[in-house]
Copies of this chain bind each other. A is one copy, B any other.
Amino acid sequence: MCEWFITHMATTQARRLSTADARRGEVLATAARVFAARGYYGTSTTEVAKGAGISQSYLYRLFPDKETLFVAVVEDCSRLIREHLAEAAVGVGSAEPEAVLDAMALAYAHLIADRDDLLRVLMHANCAASEPAIGEAVQTLYARLVEYVRSASGAPDGPVQEFFARGFLCNVAVSIGATEVDAPWTRTLLAGIRHF
């Protein structure tokens, strides 16, 4: 469907960014914030264009259609998250699997503290997974993320699974605004995780 775009991204990875490619990058960054609010279905391309400060028609020159744009945003967000986890993994002194996992969990908590749009986009992507291209992107996203966490930590299935379970708990808590509410149920859900 959007092979021109994929190959384009792949081949231009190394060489200098042209002006249009730079624009694409800027659009991806601002589009994440726009899509974070109401997701793939609830966000119009006009809103995304307005958020990026370009016309809607030019948005359609940068991306072939809305689905491709959204998938690119999702991949950009997941790349950002992976980079932050990687940074934490190399920064930890110990090589103990549990220590690496804890460092990555802490890094994630800090990351989403001031970039909650990242996890919101990911949650919206989960919910739009019935759209074929988005569903495929989401599956490969999680596949890469799980394999990365496994290899970076060297931990077995159990702790890796718990790492993701707690991550999803954070995601839900942030996305429903539970972090802004102080009540017994939010204290239970967020006990020992509050880094925001």
A-to-B contact residues, CB < 8 Å? 37-42, 120, 123-124, 126-130, 135, 138-139, 142-143, 146-147, 150, 157-158, 160-162, 164-166, 168-169, 171-172, 175-178, 181, 183-185, 187-189, 191-192
Contacts and interface: CB of A to CB of B under 8 A. Distances in A.
Of residues A40, A41, A142, A165, which shows the largest number of chain B Cβ atoms within 10 Å of its Cβ? A165
Contacts of A157: 187-188, 191
A171 B189 CA distance: 16
22 contacts: A37-B130, A38-B41, A38-B130, A39-B127, A40-B42, A123-B127, A126-B172, A126-B175, A135-B177, A142-B176, A142-B189, A143-B185, A146-B185, A147-B184, A147-B185, A157-B187, A157-B188, A161-B169, A161-B191, A161-B192, A165-B166, A168-B169
A129 B175 contact: yes
A142 B178 contact: yes
A52 to B, nearest CB: 20
A172 B142 CA distance: 10
A87 to B, nearest CB: 22
A75 to B, nearest CB: 15
Given A150-B188, A165-B165, 11 more contacts: A39-B128, A42-B128, A120-B127, A123-B126, A124-B127, A126-B175, A129-B177, A157-B188, A161-B188, A161-B189, A164-B169
